[in-house]
Amino acid sequence: MKSIKFIKLLLIVLLVNSCSYSVYTTAYPHLKTIKVLPIENQTSSYDLRDIAFYSLIDGYESDGRLKLVGLSPDCQIECSILDYSNKIVTYSGSSIDEYEVRILFEVIFTDLKKNQVLWQNGSLILSERYSLSDENSQFRNEKEAQEEITGKLFDAIMEKTLEEW
């Protein structure tokens, strides 16, 4: 009888421990802190620099795997905005139905502890569409599309660095 209780208890413990699995992994467990360097903006859309910078800061703060620091980071992000476009995609008659925002980034993620670049992409293009007239459009203006793109920038960096399988 005691062995049945023991087996039941063991199964409960195993079940509880198996539920603690997380998709948050890190391919580089020695990296604990990060610094996001000021973003270089080579476009005439000057507000993009701040939108992208604060999006990365917010992303790392809410993610929690890497702590943001100013001094002595384990790794760093360098990012440049190389090109920006906001073009008409669809129109009907004399009215514009949909626009597409595209941003070209250069990103370098460096492990400062091992002095090696872990991921670099000099031509990362991210885009989103928005509509001023379509009530069903996910994004209603250019700024919302920009903010979504910079959120995707954070996701792309995480996917190619800490979540690398």
What's the domain range around 99?
25-160
Helix, strand and coil in the chain, % to nearest 5: 30, 35, 35
Instruction: Work out the pLDDT band at 54, boundaries 50, 70, 90.
Output: very high
Find the helix or strand (DSSP H, E) in which 149 lies: helix 142-160
Q: Is residue 165 part of a domain?
A: no
Task: Please indicate, yes or no, if residue 18 is contained in any of the structural domains.
Answer: no
16 is a domain residue: no
Total-model pTM: 0.81
What is the model's pLDDT at position 163?
A: 84
| In the chain, % of residues over pLDDT 90 | 71
Give burial (CB, 10 Å; 0-12/13-18/19+) of 142. middle
pLDDT class for 95, splitting at 50, 70, 90?
A: confident
User: What is the C-alpha to C-alpha distance for residues 103 and 95, in angstroms, rounded to an integer?
Assistant: 25
What's the chain's average pLDDT? 87
Report the domain count for the chain. 1
